[in-house]
Amino acid sequence: MQTIPVGQDYLILRADKAAPAGIPPLGRIKPQVTRLARLEKADPPAVEIARLYQAARPQFNVAKYESYFDDLSQLDVKTAAGKKTASIR
């Protein structure tokens, strides 16, 4: 509540609800918050690409291109206690 003198009178202001400026209500941004939370939990893109590559086991018709993908085939993808890590063998 705030009292403001106006000449010989007073203006009294009272705020029923105070919301922080610049922060929208959760109901309006919930889809964005949910998406960001899921992205935070997801594997890094490089780890996911390596996992897909190892699962597909592609065969190359031209051997010279196979060497470009050696690091993907050697990537050791580990998930331990909710912490995703990747290391080259």
Question: Tens place of pLDDT for every residue, the chain, 89 residues?
Answer: 778 888 888 888 777 776 667 788 889 999 999 999 988 888 788 788 888 888 888 888 888 888 888 878 777 776 433 445 555 44
pLDDT for 35 equals: 92
Q: With respect to residue 18, please indicate whether it lies within any of the assigned structural domains.
A: no
User: What type of residue is 69?
Assistant: F
Q: With respect to residue 64, please indicate whether it lies within any of the assigned structural domains.
A: yes
Q: Calculate the alpha carbon distances from 26 to 15, 23, 30, 33 in Å.
A: 21, 9, 5, 8
Total tally of structural domains belonging to the chain = 1
pTM (predicted TM-score): 0.44
> CA 29 to CA 82: how far, in whole Å?
26
Q: With respect to residue 7, please indicate whether it lies within any of the assigned structural domains.
A: no
Q: With respect to residue 61, please indicate whether it lies within any of the assigned structural domains.
A: yes
pLDDT for 85 equals: 53
In the 8-state DSSP scheme, what is residue 16?
A: S
User: What type of residue is 82?
Assistant: G
Helix or strand (DSSP H, E) at 89: none
Q: With respect to residue 52, please indicate whether it lies within any of the assigned structural domains.
A: yes
pLDDT for 50 equals: 83
Its domain, for residue 55, covers 29-74
Q: With respect to residue 24, please indicate whether it lies within any of the assigned structural domains.
A: no
Q: With respect to residue 53, please indicate whether it lies within any of the assigned structural domains.
A: yes
> What are the structure tokens assigned to 34, written together?
């949910």
Q: With respect to residue 41, please indicate whether it lies within any of the assigned structural domains.
A: yes
pLDDT for 31 equals: 93
